[in-house]
Amino acid sequence: MLLQLVYAGVTARTFPAAVFGAYAAAMSTIAIAALFAVSGATKASARSLDEDPHQGRALISASLLIATALMLVVMLLAGPIAMLWGVPQSASMIRWLAFTLPVSAYAGVLLGVLRRRRRITAYNLVTATATVTGIVVGVMAVQSGAAVSLVVMPITVQVVSLVLGVALLQGQAMPALRVSGARREVVFSLRSSTNSALTYVATTVPLVVLARSVGPSALGSWNRATSLTQVPVESATSAWTTIFFSVMRGEREGSRQRNLLWSDMVVASAFVVLPTAGAFLPAVPAAVSLILGPGWSLSGQMAAWLWVSACIVAVNVVLFTALEATDNFPVLWTVQAWRIAALAAAALGVALTGNWLWLGVGMVASALLGLLVTLITAARRDLLQGRRVGRLLTTAFVLALALCLPGLLIAGSGRVITLTACALVAVAYLGCLYAARRRLPALDRLLARD
């Protein structure tokens, strides 16, 4: 995570915001294609209860076919897509990134196999090595000063992930000649991808509006703010949910144990994430300014909203992962409908006023609405203890607001003082939380699990 911050700082000092606008448009475009080519297949591989090696190899073949088809479509439509964004210079980046779709799909299935077999150490080693290698190669590439060099880092990450995945799984990593054995996993993959696509489209459409209404530079500033807020939070959330995804796939039938486990996961996540995020919130603009350097004040303003949104979503993602692992897609689709409505209103506000602030407010409102609807719907289906979770979540939000106050009081005292004070408050809270874990049964039970 530290290297990611270094990479963000180096690139921000190399290219202007408009270049990051083109990069953001390209990455968002490829991310939507990757949801169908990669995300669903990875989760299908991770959740499968079938240990037949042929089934895994068949899923690799099916994923490669889907990813190759999507790669060709994206490459052909790169020009029109770039024009839709209002950022024509993103077309070349889109074409380069399209080449990674088959590689990403292949690597994603292999990483899913590692997760299914609970080889978490190997999984973490692959992802960490790939990320570090990608950042190092990416830093060297951007020294050329060419805008397209920004895509070197994500391409390298996927290639290294694939190479390491094949090395670990060896013969089981080879594609099968027939894909018939993967029918059930492909169906789950498509359903999961559809759910993920709804989320991503809901967040991407406002970005298109931002680029066209406010300009590529605003989109670039938003991209840099995202890289320092959403991306680190999502990385931490991914590490947490990776551990529990394999646990959740075994909890398919209604049971008191499942009800308790899901409730504990949401409550524990809320008490760890929300107050810590609240304590550090006043320092977010200062941290962004310190990392990115001069000229990125707009990113600092945007980052505060993205930080709040990302941390609320992190709590909800835990429950989302459990629901997805157990095929509760109707609940997820209901939540997505509400989130899409909130983000559509935000996009309309940006289009009518030309002010990015509508998008910041919309992101936070969408995250809160998504969490509320998820909890209500899951409680009605008796998937968790609704009253208990709601009461404790409210307590976590109140704590977050309380811990935010010290930082707000000294926010004008300089970047270093604000950062230090907020960090001390966050660390002190986490220390107290651990010391008092016996008073929070949800956290105590999760820490006691094997």
Residue 31 sits in the same domain as residue 144 = yes
Is 218 contained in some domain?
no
Report if residue 437 sits inside a domain: yes
Average of per-residue pLDDT across 433-442: 78
377 half-sphere exposure, CB direction, 13 A CA radius: 21
Q: Please report the pLDDT score of residue 251 as a whole number.
A: 53
272 lies in the same domain as 125: no
Q: Are residues 429 and 323 in the same domain?
A: yes
What is the pLDDT at residue 135? 93
Q: Above 70 in pLDDT, residue 447?
A: no
Instruction: Round the average pLDDT of the chain to a whole number and report it.
Output: 82
Residues 239 and 183 in one domain: no
For residues 106 and 10, state if they share a domain: yes
In a domain, 221, yes or no: no
Is residue 139 in some structural domain? yes
Domain residues for the domain of 397 are 229-450
Which of 141, 160, 189 lies at the terminal end of a domain, its last residue? 189
Given a cut of 50, whether residue 374 has pLDDT beyond it is: yes
Question: 273 with 155, same domain?
Answer: no
Please check whether residue 327 lies inside any domain of the structure: yes
Name the domain boundary from 189, 219, 237: 189
pLDDT digits (tens, 9 = 90+) for 250-292: 555 456 777 777 788 888 889 999 999 999 999 999 899 888 9
Q: Is residue 222 part of a domain?
A: no
Give residue-wise pLDDT tens across range 140-154. 999 988 989 999 999
Task: Examine the domain organization and report whether 17 and 132 are in the same domain.
Answer: yes
pLDDT digits (tens, 9 = 90+) for 283-323: 999 899 888 988 888 999 999 999 999 999 988 887 777 67
pLDDT at 434: 85
> Are 262 and 337 members of one domain?
yes
Q: Residue 107's CB: how many other CB atoms inside 10 A?
A: 28
Q: Per residue in 129-183, pLDDT tens? A: 999 999 999 999 999 889 899 999 999 999 999 999 888 887 776 766 565 555 5
Report the domain count for the chain. Answer: 2
Task: Tell me the per-residue pLDDT of 419-428, one tens digit each, with 9 for 90 and over.
Answer: 999 999 999 9
**CA distances for 192 relative to 132, 197, 198, 329, angstroms:** 29, 9, 10, 8
Q: How confident is the model over 232-256, as pLDDT tens digits? A: 888 777 766 665 555 555 555 456 7
Compute how many other C-beta atoms are within 10 angstroms of the C-beta atom of residue 254: 10
Domain presence at residue 196: no
Q: Are residues 239 and 177 in the same domain?
A: no
Asked if residue 238 is part of any domain, the answer here is: yes
**Domain co-membership, 171 together with 234:** no
Asked if residue 381 lies in contact with residue 328, where contact means CB atoms within 8 angstroms, the answer is yes
pTM for the predicted model, two decimal places: 0.80
Over residues 319-344, the mean pLDDT reads 78
**What is the structure's pLDDT at 49?**
47
> Residue 261: what pLDDT?
77
The pLDDT tens digits of the residues spanning 388-401 come to 889 999 999 999 99
Judge if 32 and 181 occupy the same domain. Answer: yes
- The confidence band for 450, taking pLDDT boundaries of 50, 70 and 90, is very low
Instruction: Give the integer Cα–Cα distance in Å for 39 and 19.
Output: 27
- 64 and 178 belong to one structural domain: yes
